A and B are shown apart, each in its own frame.
Chain A
Amino acid sequence: MQMETITVNKSFKSEEYFINMGPQHPATHGVLRLLLTIDGEIIKKVEPDLGYIHRSIEKMCERDSYQQIVHLTDRMDYLSSHINNEAVCLAVENALQLEIPDRVKVIRTIIGELTRIASHTLWWGVMGMDVGALTTYFYGFRDRELINDIFEETCGARLTMNYNIPGGLMFDIHPNFVKRTKEFIAHFKTKLPEYDSLLTGNIIFQKRMKGVGILSKEDAISYGASGPVGRGSGYSCDVRKHHPYSALDKVTFNETLRQEGDSFARYQVRIQEMWESMSIIEQLIDNIPEGEHQVATNAVIKLPKGEFYQKVETARGELGVYIISTGTKSPYRLKFRSPGFSNLSLLNHIAVGGKIGDLVATMATLDLVIPDIDR
């Protein structure tokens, strides 16, 4: 009798199955592995599996001098490498209580905002590709290349720039820097509205985005979401606004906030942030103060004994650098609080119940960079 009921139940029950999305999958942008439990097309559970690109950067930092640590941070969130460098440099400078020239602060802010635009244009292109509009990828990259050219001319590298050193900048900006940046801003102001007409306004895109992957403000706070993900849920978490660093206290800008908390809100926060970043650059680019590009530090930097924390706003959210120093030339322990890790942790929460297509679109709006998560 019992046997019969079981068979009857089984024949009317849809079965769940597992799918390995990644580590080599086009939507995971790198080597993230997602273990999906799926019922038909509907996601029941998402389990991220990390560690495929773990390089133990934090452990390597315990071996390196403070100048050397900076270049490792390039390899974490490679799309906002300048801002990562800045975080370490600011932490070290604050610990040493160095007085940084205004020129350095302004240049750091300008390049930081350029990095943010570069990261967001790449995200926009890849985001379009994830939802199936392949052309956006090239339009996004076209604009990003111009920023990369500016970086290459000034810093010598396009992606892993390592332009910051504790105490200032490695060398002064290139004479063309101001001109090129202005040209880029003028160019990008004509191209950003195109982004809207190509993708943002598109009815298919809006249907794919609106009401998908909803994250409430309470959840955003409790999961530690930061950056555009948090701000898309109405959580005011912009480090640039609340704890301004470098020259960010001298500029006026609005923190972009959206209350909806869905994928479309996160998308719009990023688009709006590009406008804000351009306005920040415009406020600073004409009056870069004269002065030294670095202050002299000892060849071997030794931080005083103690614990130091510095947070900055990368393109992905809040990056924290926590240094425990015992007074030697390298930190006793260095911990990065990376934005991607916290943002990934809420993927299961917001993707369950959606379709496979929703998962991909939601993941794209989280803007994950896997080396940032794995470190």
Chain B
Amino acid sequence: MSYFSDIYSGIKTLLTGMSVTGKYFLHARKGAITQQYPDNRATLKMFDRFRGEVVMPHDENNEHQCTGCQKCELACPNGSIEIIWDRGIDETTGKKKKKIDQHIYHLGMCTMCGLCIEACPTDAIVWAQNFENSVYDRTKLTKVLNQPGSKVKAGIED
């Protein structure tokens, strides 16, 4: 007798499973959970905290906030950040002061851990939300974050 009750319960469980997929089939029109990625670029917005790549914001006077303290370079686990710095004479005080020549960022080595941004005392570097980072040449992944001719914003001290 259990032979037939097995068949009955077996068919019943199979139909239960089919009802689940069948329900989704009928609601397929509105229920698609996938995105049509390159088409929805205009509406696709990443969250504010999304870690895309490290950038150094500059204001309208081409000034950034990096003092060249190298804390980010020390904090980075992978050596993605290299700072080439120099000592220059500060015009206002006349003292010798550290300033950055190039803030080099190797995107290809970055693991997006966020330790550099946590370590930065002057908020000179922040996360950007772009995620389309693919390039044809690996060397293009090495970026200089400070723009040419930029200098430190006045009043930023480390």
Instruction: Spell out A's residues near B (CB within 8 Å).
Output: 64, 67-68, 70-72, 74-75, 135, 138, 141-142, 145, 149, 152-157, 160, 162, 165, 170-171, 174, 194, 197-199, 201-204, 206, 299
CB distance from B48 to the nearest CB of A (A): 8
* 19 intermolecular pairs with C-beta atoms under 8 Å apart: A64-B77, A68-B113, A71-B77, A71-B115, A141-B33, A153-B49, A156-B50, A157-B50, A162-B112, A170-B114, A174-B47, A197-B17, A197-B20, A201-B17, A202-B17, A203-B9, A203-B10, A203-B13, A203-B14
CB distance from A299 to the nearest CB of B (A): 8
Tell me whether B21 and A198 are in contact (CB under 8 A): yes
Most A Cβ at <10 Å: residue of B16, B71, B77, B119: B77
Tell me whether A153 and B47 are in contact (CB under 8 A): yes
* B51 cross-chain contacts in A, Cβ below 8 A: 156-157
User: CB < 8 Å: which of B10, B71, B112, B118 contacts A170?
Assistant: B118
Tell me whether B111 and A201 are in contact (CB under 8 A): no
Question: How many residues of chain B are within 8 Å of chain A by beta carbon?
Answer: 26
Question: Bound state CA distance, A374 and B14, in angstroms?
Answer: 39
* B83 cross-chain contacts in A, Cβ below 8 A: none
Question: Bound state CA distance, A297 and B113, in angstroms?
Answer: 18
Chain A to chain B: the 4 pairs with minimum beta-carbon distance, closest first = A71-B113, A68-B77, A203-B10, A156-B49
What 1/0 mask marks residues of chain B from 59 to 101 whose CB sits below 8 Å from any chain A CB?
0000000000001000101000000000000000000000000
CB distance from B41 to the nearest CB of A (A): 18
Tell me whether B33 and A145 are in contact (CB under 8 A): yes
* B118 cross-chain contacts in A, Cβ below 8 A: 165, 170
* B19 cross-chain contacts in A, Cβ below 8 A: 197
Instruction: Take A67-B75, A160-B112 as given contacts and tell me if A142 and B33 are in contact as well, using a CB distance cutoff of 8 Å.
Output: yes
* A201 cross-chain contacts in B, Cβ below 8 A: 13, 16-17
* A206 cross-chain contacts in B, Cβ below 8 A: 13
CB distance from B82 to the nearest CB of A (A): 17
CB distance from A355 to the nearest CB of B (A): 20
Tell me whether A157 and B112 are in contact (CB under 8 A): yes
Question: Bound state CA distance, A162 and B33, in angstroms?
Answer: 27
Instruction: Spell out B's residues near A (CB within 8 Å).
Output: 9-10, 13-14, 16-17, 19-21, 33, 46-47, 49-51, 71, 75, 77, 111-115, 118-119, 127
Tell me whether A198 and B49 are in contact (CB under 8 A): no
* A67 cross-chain contacts in B, Cβ below 8 A: 75, 115
Residue of A nearest to B20 (CB): A198
Residue of A nearest to B129 (CB): A156
* A162 cross-chain contacts in B, Cβ below 8 A: 112-115
Tell me whether B17 and A138 are in contact (CB under 8 A): no
Tell me whether A199 and B127 are in contact (CB under 8 A): no
Tell me whether A197 and B113 are in contact (CB under 8 A): no
Residue of A nearest to B34 (CB): A138
CB distance from A76 to the nearest CB of B (A): 13
CB distance from B129 to the nearest CB of A (A): 9
Question: Bound state CA distance, A170 and B127, in angstroms?
Answer: 14
Residue of A nearest to B9 (CB): A203
Question: Bound state CA distance, A157 and B52, in angstroms?
Answer: 9
Given A64-B77, A138-B33, A162-B115, 12 other A-B residues pairs in contact with their CB atoms under 8 A: A71-B115, A145-B33, A156-B47, A156-B112, A157-B51, A160-B111, A170-B114, A198-B17, A198-B20, A198-B21, A199-B17, A202-B14
Question: Bound state CA distance, A197 and B127, in angstroms?
Answer: 44
Residue of A nearest to B49 (CB): A156
* A138 cross-chain contacts in B, Cβ below 8 A: 33
Question: Bound state CA distance, A204 and B11, in angstroms?
Answer: 10
Most A Cβ at <10 Å: residue of B20, B21, B112: B20
Question: Bound state CA distance, A154 and B51, in angstroms?
Answer: 11
Question: Bound state CA distance, A71 and B113, in angstroms?
Answer: 6
* B50 cross-chain contacts in A, Cβ below 8 A: 152, 156-157
Question: Bound state CA distance, A74 and B22, in angstroms?
Answer: 38
* B113 cross-chain contacts in A, Cβ below 8 A: 68, 70-71, 74, 160, 162
Residue of B nearest to A75 (CB): B111
